Structure 1
């Protein structure tokens, strides 16, 4: 049967000419090995009906044993001593953590007020309006004077009804309670003149210097920061 197949293959080789994109599979193929080693059938069909004895391959004994792949435990390798503990020479803690400028764990104020919210003016069915942290007084000329030092306040100052206190006098009385008690000073409200946003030129007319959107943004930021730094 093998001779018939080999004659058939040789006859095909004589009549078939390889094309430009074809390969010589008969020269580099495993079909000859299959014909020589694959068991065939004697009953006329080969699928699941191979009756010939399979070829027994001789086991190879010239292979290394499993022990050859393992290292020899009798030979203890020489251990080198680490130049630093855990082979790490970097500082454990950064230099910034050792600075005295950073407060310790017990330096923080734990009993602070939580859930702080900016004060808003609400109306039923209407829009909410921000309550500014510092009231702005619109006047052509600032003629307010402190009732203690009798000087015109510079920057923000405090007012309750017709009484005016500059920032220095207010802080001094809040600390020492020389003329006013703290219960009375709590009624004062922080105010400022409108020179940073209006130009009056000595008249009741005003010229706006800053856009309304910028002023609202600054008022919201000031109202939020006043919750933490009054």
Structure 2
């Protein structure tokens, strides 16, 4: 008696899975042959398009000489070469403004190796509970921004007057003064060393960057 072999559970017939017919039926096919172990197939042939316009339909006829306008003077010598704005009388001449202007002005930054750059403010802010600085010339408390060098204080009016007339201080000495201001616009001390911040840091940095840029042109 003949008994047919029956495969057990979790098993398969090796001859059926490895035959050439099984491989041809289950092997992935690719038209370009890019996939792993894929056989190539005949690529699709694109039909060329013939319903396109000929060059005669859009190209001008080169046999006809185009008409040209004759110049009033040879080589168009009488034509306008410059725009009307450049020939206007409202534009100042070369001698009416300062030519020796400093170029490529950049805001001063504090650099460090491996660290972030820090802006050097154009006007130094003095944080103090009560501003008791007085001008050494007029003996009055300065209003707004003023100038300081070591322990000497000058208000804005006295500094500008001495810069022009050099009555008490020479101009070379006034160059050492730095523009400062108190912290009343940023902090509120109420007579103590503690401070209450009035302006956000982000807004303050934005104002300092704008002030540092404008100080390059209007010191």
- Pair in the same fold by TM > 0.5: yes
Task: Show the counterpart of 1:51.
Answer: 40
More helix by share: 1
- Mapped partners of 1:116, 1:222: distance in 2: 14
CA deviation after TM superposition for structure 1 residue 175, in Å: 0.8
TM-score by length of 1: 0.56
Structure 2 alignment gaps of length 5 or more: none
- Mapped partners of 1:43, 1:20: distance in 2: 39
Structure 1 alignment gaps of length 5 or more: 1-14
CA deviation after TM superposition for structure 1 residue 51, in Å: 55
Tell me the SS of whatever aligns to 1:132.
coil
CA deviation after TM superposition for structure 1 residue 127, in Å: 0.5
Task: Show the counterpart of 1:178.
Answer: 167
Q: State whether residues 37 and 55 of structure 1, in contact with CA within 8 Å, keep that contact through their aligned partners in structure 2.
A: no
Aligned residues: 216
Task: Show the counterpart of 2:66.
Answer: 77
Deviations 1:55-114 (A, max 9, x none): 999999999999999999999999999999999999999999999986444322211111
CA deviation after TM superposition for structure 1 residue 115, in Å: 1.0
- Mapped partners of 2:10, 2:192: distance in 1: 101
Which has more radius of gyration?
Answer: 1
- Mapped partners of 2:177, 2:82: distance in 1: 49
Q: State whether residues 33 and 39 of structure 2, in contact with CA within 8 Å, keep that contact through their aligned partners in structure 1.
A: no
CA deviation after TM superposition for structure 1 residue 23, in Å: 68
Q: State whether residues 39 and 52 of structure 1, in contact with CA within 8 Å, keep that contact through their aligned partners in structure 2.
A: no
Deviations 1:97-137 (A, max 9, x none): 99998644432221111111100111011011000000000
Which residue, 118, 121, 129 being the options, matches 2:107? 118
Are the structure 2 counterparts of residues 226 and 25 from structure 1 closer, same or farther at C-alpha, using a change threshold of 3 Å?
same
Are the structure 2 counterparts of residues 85 and 181 from structure 1 closer, same or farther at C-alpha, using a change threshold of 3 Å?
same
Task: Show the counterpart of 2:22.
Answer: 33
Q: Does 1:127 align with 2:112?
A: no
- Mapped partners of 1:97, 1:204: distance in 2: 61
CA deviation after TM superposition for structure 1 residue 202, in Å: 1.0
Q: Which moved more, 1:52-61 or 1:209-218?
A: 52-61
Q: State whether residues 119 and 131 of structure 1, in contact with CA within 8 Å, keep that contact through their aligned partners in structure 2.
A: yes
CA deviation after TM superposition for structure 1 residue 173, in Å: 0.6
Q: CA RMSD in A?
A: 14.8
Q: State whether residues 148 and 179 of structure 2, in contact with CA within 8 Å, keep that contact through their aligned partners in structure 1.
A: yes
- Mapped partners of 1:38, 1:110: distance in 2: 81
Are the structure 2 counterparts of residues 34 and 100 from structure 1 closer, same or farther at C-alpha, using a change threshold of 3 Å?
farther
